[in-house]
């Protein structure tokens, strides 16, 4: 027969082992929970970034409607023009969404050339007349 003291020690060890296993399980759950929270946080950041990109794209599409592509030259050169104005904008910068800078008279030959102050591309100065209602365009180079 096993003495009561040894049985008590064995039971105590058994309970200790159970507690250790339980603690390992709890630590594993907490670690998994933390990892999931980190993943959720990263996904939420990505969602915010994508929402911001969508908003920027929507703003660009809205702003783009204020401009029209005009083909005033027989050589295929195109410019952007603010709708119903004679304000021209650089097609190179337009593609990069930099459309807030209007083409200006070139320092060299200002009567015949326009230049983009941003990218420095130069374009022939168009002579365009249009009727506001029909958007009929006639053009020639200077």
| pLDDT of 123 | 85
Task: State pLDDT tens for residues 60-100.
Answer: 999 999 999 887 677 777 888 898 888 889 898 898 888 87
Decide if pLDDT at 34 tops 80: yes
Q: Are 41 and 28 in contact (CB under 8 A)?
A: no
């Amino acid at each position: 027969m096993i003495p009561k003291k040894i049985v008590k020690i064995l039971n105590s060890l058994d309970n200790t082992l159970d507690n250790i296993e339980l603690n390992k399980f709890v630590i594993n759950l907490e670690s998994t929970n933390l990892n999931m929270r980190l993943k959720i946080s990263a996904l939420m950041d990505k969602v915010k970034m994508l929402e911001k990109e969508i908003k920027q794209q929507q703003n660009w599409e809205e702003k783009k409607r204020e401009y029209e592509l005009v083909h005033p030259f027989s050589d295929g050169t195109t410019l952007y023009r603010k709708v119903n104005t004679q304000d021209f904008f650089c097609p190179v910068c337009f593609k990069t969404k930099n459309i807030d800078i209007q083409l200006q008279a070139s320092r060299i030959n200002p009567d015949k050339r326009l230049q983009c102050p941003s990218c420095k591309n130069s374009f022939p100065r168009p002579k365009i007349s249009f009727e506001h209602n029909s958007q009929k365009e006639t053009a020639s180079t200077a």
